Structure 1
Amino acid sequence: MIFTLSGWFCAIVLTLTSLIHVYWGLGGLWPASDPAELSRTVVGVDAQQMPGLVLTLVIAVLIFAAGAFGFARGVLRWDSLLLIRIPLDILTAIFTLRGAITYLPGPFAQATEPFKTLNITYFSPLILALAVCFALLTFSPRD
């Protein structure tokens, strides 16, 4: 049951996250009112515009793919060392590092507000929860 819930959690959260990235790539501004404010809010840099369409769509596809691995293992119960478990190991490491680096001295320490506060309060805890789900799926028993 925990493995199925972990798969659904990864799939839902990361699908929604990838859709938000597509929206931004196509010029959407939520939750800000202009590109500079959006950059400060979701990227954490003081720039006049967001990254370009191609880069944003590539990131959206990668985020969606991460969720698809969680869905494949947790919900569909697919099991392959090379095609599922090793990618889940890699995703566990990526999400753990991305979530933990927020709380260490480094690039996120110099992030602009409101990203800095949002990252500490919401983004990184969610990313760490996803890392836990990916780890659970990596080590889930074989069917």
Structure 2
Amino acid sequence: MKQLAAILLLEFATHAAAGERMSYGEAEYLNSCAVCHGVEGKGDGPLSDLLVKRPADLTSISKRNGGTFPYARMFAVIDGRYAVPSHGEREMPVWGRQFLEDDKQLYGPAGGEIVTTERIHELAGYVQSLQR
């Protein structure tokens, strides 16, 4: 875990050193997703080799979807709280539930849901920006 934290801290420092302002979506991605999907979203994160199924290459979602980014579907996949059981087992964390637990403590039940929804929108938007 220390290596992972060092890798992500180095990535954050690289952006800061370059004078770039990191978006909320990018910060959330680096904090929650990069460990599996990789810093560039190619499915090559530090934990990817430890997983049963390799994480998706997030940079080619639009390509795999006929050139269109499926924003609503991406939002639903990240959220994960409303999964369809017939679609099989979920490989990644249910971020909607995990974020909500954290956010409810800070903002209360209604505020927690609003903040959780915004976090997921930020992530979906950032993943959209990764498309090649």
Q: Please indicate, yes or no, whether the TM-score normalized by the shorter chain is above 0.5.
A: no
Q: Larger Rg: 1 or 2?
A: 1
Higher helix share: 1
TM bracket (short chain)? 0.3 to 0.5
TM value normalised by structure 1: 0.31
